A and B are shown apart, each in its own frame.
Chain A
Amino acid sequence: MRSLVLLLALASCSKDDGTGRGAATGELSRDRIVEAWKKGGLTPTPLTAATTPVGKDCQSGTVNGVDVLVCQFATPDEAKTAEAKGLEWVGEATGMAQASGKVLVAASDRRKSDPSGRTINQLMKLSK
């Protein structure tokens, strides 16, 4: 019985569901990305659930005034495929959509708060 409980506990920790609970596996997750942004000196707002054609499990917010969308997918291939839709989400602005593992991060400077692109460059580098 004890073994079974341990096994179940291990199984629940080994799967990354995008909330950071699978951090022990080394996989990227939304929480880890947000944490990396903060450690890198960026200022993200809390991410909130977003309804978008990019993916079913997406959250949006801003980082130093740049709009960001972070979506979690079941496989890295799905995240990679969603890059095109991520660019559609960027819209008529400077931006970028980048898949890293099962996570897709899209950034759009709709508010023109990042004319040099330094924020987008940094947040994308920290999202890997």
Chain B
Amino acid sequence: MRTILLGIAALVLVTSVAIAGKKQVRYVGIHPVPKAEGGGFCNIEGPHVHVFGANKLEYRDHRGANYFVGDPVAYGYDGPRHAYKGHHPIHVHAVVGDSEPDVEYCYLNGPHYHYFTPPEGPDFKMAGEAYFYVGTPPPVYVEARPAMVEINAVYTPIVYARPVVEVAAPVGWIGLHATYGVGMGVGIVTPGVVVAPPRATVVTPGVVVDAHVHVPTPTLRVDVGVGFGGGVVVGGDNGRHRGHHKHKKFKGKKRRW
């Protein structure tokens, strides 16, 4: 009886400590701060802790720490940024300065920003001052895709100055790929069921009017809104786009964290 009472007392004690204490959550790299925690942006680049959690769509695990893979500009980040279009790998180890490879994937459709440049090599091509992934994604990208593309639902309602990418996508861009490109803006759907007419996006600085009309017909899918490189303005950058200047902080330089 005495043992049982002691056990209950210990359980109550442990529970109350867990409730009273906020758990530290590990992060690495810059990331937005949830509105409930004050909002804004955390500019700590090295491994650090907060007492708030990270969501599964915008963060990836990097050796036990949460690494932000979303668009920082959507959350008010005003530092150096680089335009990308469509899905692509992120070499997290290169960004944070680790030697052991850790490649994660960004599933943001259409033009968006990151604060890092991609690694040099044939897998990325620059066109219209934006990076396009032209490599072949591995199975891990494909497997996670159905869940991870939900990140786009997070960004759709956010009004911010997205990059303007008006050039045709380079040959081999993942968004034009018969398999991987589906749903990324331009998709070639084989036994087609859905045809969506061009999505019209009207942008003025700070205001986005987004009209998206779906007219079902049998064979073809063309969804120009977020992916087609042929002259569709997806957003205004409010004069803040900084071109394709290499982010020297990350280029060819191993950061010591």
Contacts and interface: CB of A to CB of B under 8 A. Distances in A.
Interface of A: 87, 90, 92-96, 98, 115-118, 120-121, 124-125, 128
Given A94-B44, A115-B33, A121-B43, 6 more contacts: A90-B49, A92-B22, A93-B51, A95-B49, A116-B40, A117-B42
B48 interface: yes
Interface string B26-70: 000010010000101111111111110000000000000000000
B256 interface: yes
A59 B48 CA distance: 21
Looking at chain A's contact residues, is the secondary structure mostly helix, strand, loop, or mixed? mixed
Contacts of B44: 94, 96, 117, 120-121, 124
Interface of B: 21-22, 24, 30, 33, 38, 40-51, 256
A87 B24 contact: yes
Nearest to B50: A94
12 contacts: A92-B22, A92-B51, A94-B50, A95-B49, A96-B46, A96-B47, A96-B49, A115-B40, A117-B41, A117-B43, A121-B44, A125-B45
Contacts of A92: 21-22, 24, 51
A116 B256 contact: no
Contacts of B41: 116-117
Given A87-B24, A115-B40, A116-B40, A121 B45 contact: yes
B117 to A, nearest CB: 20
Given A87-B24, A90-B24, A96-B46, A115 B51 contact: no
Q: Counting chain A CB atoms within 10 Å of each CB, which of B40, B48, B50, B256 scores highest?
A: B48
A49 to B, nearest CB: 25
B43 A116 contact: yes
Contacts of B256: 128
Given A87-B24, A115-B33, A128-B256, A94 B46 contact: no
Contacts of A128: 256
Q: Which 7 A/B pairs are nearest by Cβ-Cβ distance?
A: A117-B44, A96-B48, A117-B42, A92-B22, A117-B43, A121-B44, A118-B43
Contacts of B33: 115
Nearest to B257: A98
